[in-house]
Each structure stands twice: as structure tokens, then as C-alpha cells.
Amino acid sequence: MLARLAQVKPFVLHENMLPAANISMQALLAIELMLVKGRLEMRKAIQDFLKWLDTRGTYRSAAETQKRFTFLRLKFNGLVDDFDLFSDVLTQRSELETGVWLAGLDVLATEALSIAGKNIMVPAVVWLDRGHGAAIRRSRTRLPGGGENPVAIIRIPRERMVGSGIASSLVHECGHQVSATLGLIDSIKESLRKVQKSNSRTRFIWNLWERWIAEILSDLISVARVGVGSTLGLIGVVSLPRHFVFRINFDDPSHHFPFIRVKLSCVMGNALYPHPQWNELAQLWESFYPTVGLDLNRRNLIINLERSIPDFVSILIHHQPRSLGGRSLKEVLGVEEREPKRLTALFQQWQILPEQMRNAPPTLAFAVIGQAKMEGKISAEQENKILSNLLSHWALKRTWSAAEECIKGQNQKTTNKRVDFETAFLFSSQPVLK
């Protein structure tokens, strides 16, 4: 084990990737410190075990020795599992283009991990995996080896890497971290339980909203940050065979079924940004999956859920948790910047001045592109090209910013060459949005 432990080297000596594809220095440092601590603790545990074995004049039974060795090996395997987890995430950064895009998504996730002007102060690392579902391993949760995760690891399906829909999944997963860090789930549950106590006839319906609140909160944050692009992305994910769209699993304590999830997303969007597009999107979804033909119990449940949605959404967006200083979620989510008319105006403006898009907050850029997609003003090919350029730009900008900080630390002057290089490398002379 000591020999194998010596092979667990720092990632700065282990991984090979483009500098622009690397994770942030904050995330890399947090991961390295966690692994260094784990290696030191493991080495000490092994040395203590060897000292215990070598104590002269003391009888060690085979059973006791095996017991101690088995627990030691389990701890060692856990440390290796932690190393492999981060190794898989970082190794992917060596893939051509993918690594740089992931670094750009890191920047998007970092911005999404802020609310009410507060940075959650959690380094974000994004990686791709097979399958259709996104997921997050939140920071400060337990790793396979028993240690505390120092970063938010966000998994995005590879099939989502094309188009603005990726922001829907990514910001949704960031929403889980935001909700947990700010204690939003428990706070809102208190309000929902009061409603259940006040009306026994609808208690079961409100109990379902309480069960599903974690996923619903993340959907709310996603809609608030990337607008209608969030709902469009959600539809892309949950457009499944009819059986699964209406499959209601009361044993699942967290996920509301796809049909009601999309309808709820539309109502949340309209509550934040009133616009006819939300009703049009809801009607389109209903045309894809009409409730005609469902059994009576299922139809009645859907009807009762839909009746309660307006009141439920009102409670959500006007909720005032202590962690936000008494301000409501609607007040702190920055919805003014993402009104559909404003997003449309920004799209038109960016066609003339594309550099403004590159300097905009990443979630706002995705919201603008998503709105343009909803209005049919951009093709899938244009969308993919624009977003690829943006992701590369954000990755390169972060890399140069980190380099500049190092230069400033050495009291050296910087020049304007970085801006010229970025513009020449990432964008042609023609406007990006045309």
C-alpha cells in the first residue's frame, strides 16, 4: 500500500491538457489540498499499523490483525476512488475542443453559483458522461473515500453539448448547490406545511409539492437565470415515450413527473417574466402529450396539481428566507435583466456590437440565445457556432486573467495584447450573430 500510495501524484504532475482547458486554479488547489491531506493521513495510518505489528513482546492474533488490515485497506481503496474520480474529470480536459468547452462551462457554472450578489464561493468543475441525466456532487458532501468534497462536480450528458439547452441542465444542477448552501429547501418547506395544515382537502397535493421541492427550486433558479431557454432545454430532456411522461412514482421523494414539470416551468417563467410565449409553450407541450386516454385517477391528480400551481408558484417566488436577509427569491434572482423584450433587444444590439455579448455574464448570454431560438431568429447551426465561440472565449479569458494575476504579483506591467489576441483567435471579422 505504501508503494501504491507513492504513485498517487499531484494532478499538476499527472495530467496533460491545454492551459485554457484546465479547471480554475481555485478548484485545482482545493482538490490537491484534499488529496494531499488524504495521502498524509493514509501514510500515517499505514505506519501506525506497521508499528502496531512490530511491537515486541506483544501477541497479535491473526483475527485482530486481519480485522485491522481489512479496515486499513478499505480506507486506502476509498482514497484511490477519490483520486480516480477527479482523475476521470480532469483527463477529459485533454480531449480536442471538448476540454476548452468544459473550461468555458466552468465559468458559466461559477456565475450561476451566485445569487443576490453573493458568490457561493464554491469552485465548479464540469465534466461529460454517457447517459441522459445531469447530476451534481455538491461541495462539502462526502466522497467515496469518506472525505469532504472540496468542489461542486457537475455531470452533463454528452448529448447535451450542442445548443443552448446545456445551460438549462447546468444551471439546474447549480441550483441544487445554491439551495443547499442558502438553506432554501427547509425554509420553503415550512411555508408549504402551513398550507397543508390550513386546508385538509388539498393536503395531499401540497404534500407532493413539498416532496418535490428540491428539484422544483432548481428548475426555478434555472428559469430565472437563463429564461425560456431553460424550459426549452427541459423539454428536450423529458421528451420521452408517453408512458414515462405520465409515470407518477409516489415512492420517488424528489422528482415530479415530466408532464407536470414542464407545465410548472412555464408557469414559473410567466410569473417571473409575463409573456404570451409561456402559454404557447405550455399548449405545445400539451399537444405533444394530451391527457385524453389517461385513467381517471391520474387525470384527476393532474387537474388538482394544475389548479394549485399558481398559488404554489406565488409562494415560491415571494418566499423570504433568512439567508437572503428577508428579500424574496424574485427580488434577488435578477429577473429584470431577463425580460423577454430586453433579451430580444440585446440580441439585435449584439448583432451590431458582438463584443458586448462576449463581455456579458454567461447566463445572460445563454438567456439571449435561448430567447432568439424561441423566436426562430437563429438556426441550430448558428447557435452551435456562437456558443462554441463563447465557451472558448470564456475559457481563454479566465486563463489570461489568472496569468495576469501572477504577473501583477511580480509587479510587472501588462499590455493590451491579450485583447487583440482573443479577438483575432476566436472571432472572424464578420459579426458573430449574423
State the average pLDDT over residues 348-358.
91
pLDDT band at 54 (very low <50, low <70, confident <90, very high): confident
| pLDDT top residue among 130 and 285 | 285
* Contact present, 152 and 124 (Cβ < 8 Å): yes
Residues 159-178 have a mean pLDDT of 85
- Find the DSSP H helices in 333-379: 340-352, 354-359, 362-374
Mean pLDDT value of segment 53-68: 82
For residue 403, the model assigns a pLDDT of 65
pLDDT of residue 419: 44
261-288 pLDDT per residue, tens:
999 999 999 999 999 999 999 999 999 9
* pLDDT surpasses 50 at 418: no
Q: How confident is the model at residue 134 (pLDDT cuts 50, 70, 90)?
A: confident
Q: Which three cell numbers stand for residue 357?
A: 455579448
- Provide the pLDDT for residue 132: 65
**Mean pLDDT on 30-50:** 89
CA–CA separation, 228 vs 422, rounded Å? Answer: 30
Quickly state the pLDDT bin for 56 (edges 50, 70, 90).
low
Assigned C-alpha cell, 188: 420553503
At 127, is the secondary structure helix, strand, or coil? strand
Query: Which range (91-100, 154-163, 371-380, 414-423) has the least confidence?
Result: 414-423
* pLDDT in the model for residue 119: 57
pLDDT at residue 384, as a whole number:
87
* Residue type for position 390: L
One-character DSSP codes across 315-341: HHHT---GGGTT--HHHHTTGGGG-HH
**pLDDT at 406 exceeding the cut of 80:** no
Amino acid at 60: R
The CA-based dihedral angle spanning residues 193, 199, 204, 206, taken in that order and rounded to the nearest 10 degrees = -50
The whole-number pLDDT of residue 203 equals 92
pLDDT band for position 89 (cuts 50, 70, 90): confident
- What pTM did the predictor assign? 0.84
pLDDT confidence of 206, banded at 50, 70, 90? very high
Lowest mean pLDDT of 112-121, 130-139, 184-193, name the range: 112-121
Under the banding of pLDDT at 50, 70 and 90, the label for residue 354 is: confident
C-alpha dihedral sign at 297, 303, 306, 307:
negative
pLDDT computed for residue 331 by the predictor? 87
Q: What is the pLDDT of residue 367?
A: 95
The predicted structure's pLDDT at residue 16: 65
Pairing of strands 118-119, 124-129: unpaired
Torsion on CA atoms 83, 181, 398, 101, rounded to nearest 10: 60
Crossing angle of helices 228-238 and 165-182, in 10° steps, is: 100
Which strand (E) or helix (H) includes residue 134?
A: none
Rounded (5°) CA angle 185-191-197: 130
C-alpha dihedral sign at 344, 349, 354, 359: negative
pLDDT, mean of residues 245-254 = 80
In the prediction, which pLDDT does 39 show?
87
Among 20-24, 160-164, 356-360, where is mean pLDDT lowest? 160-164
What's the rounded Cα separation, in Å, for the pair 229 and 349? 19
Residue at 220: amino acid letter: L
Q: Could you tell me which residues are beta bridge partners of residue 14? A: none
The dihedral built from the CA positions of residue 133, 143, 115 and 216, taken in this order, carries a sign that is positive
Residue 115 has pLDDT above 80, yes or no: no
Query: What is the rounded distance in angstroms from the CA atom of residue 68 to the CA atom of residue 18?
Result: 44
- The per-residue pLDDT for 156 is 86
State the chain's mean pLDDT as an integer.
85
What number is the average pLDDT over the span 381-398? 88
What pLDDT, on the 0 to 100 scale, is given for residue 231? 96
pLDDT of 227: 94
For residue 350, the number of C-alpha atoms closer than 13 Å in the C-beta half-sphere is 23
Q: Which residues contact 429 (CB under 8 A, 6 or more apart)?
A: none
Instruction: Give the long-range contacts of residues 23-28, CB within 8 A, separation 24 or more.
Output: 23/90, 23/93, 23/103, 23/106, 23/123, 23/125, 24/106, 24/110, 24/123, 24/124, 24/398, 24/402, 25/402, 26/123, 27/106, 27/123, 27/124, 27/125, 27/150, 27/151
Q: In this predicted model, which residue has the larger pLDDT, 110 or 161?
A: 110
Check pLDDT > 90 for residue 172.
yes
Mean pLDDT of 399-420: 58
pLDDT tens digits, 94-112: 887 888 888 899 999 988 8
Q: Which residue has the higher pLDDT, 376 or 96?
A: 376
Per-residue pLDDT band for 143 (boundaries 50, 70, 90) equals confident
340 CB neighbour count, 10 Å cutoff:
20
Q: Which residues contact 328 (CB under 8 A, 6 or more apart)?
A: 317, 318, 319, 320
User: Which pLDDT score, from 0 to 100, does residue 253 have?
Assistant: 65
pLDDT at 238 over 70: yes
63, 69 Cβ separation under 8 angstroms: no
Phi, psi of 116 (to 5 degrees): 60, 30
Write out the H or E segment, with its range, that includes residue 304.
helix 296-317
The pLDDT > 90 percentage for the chain reads: 41
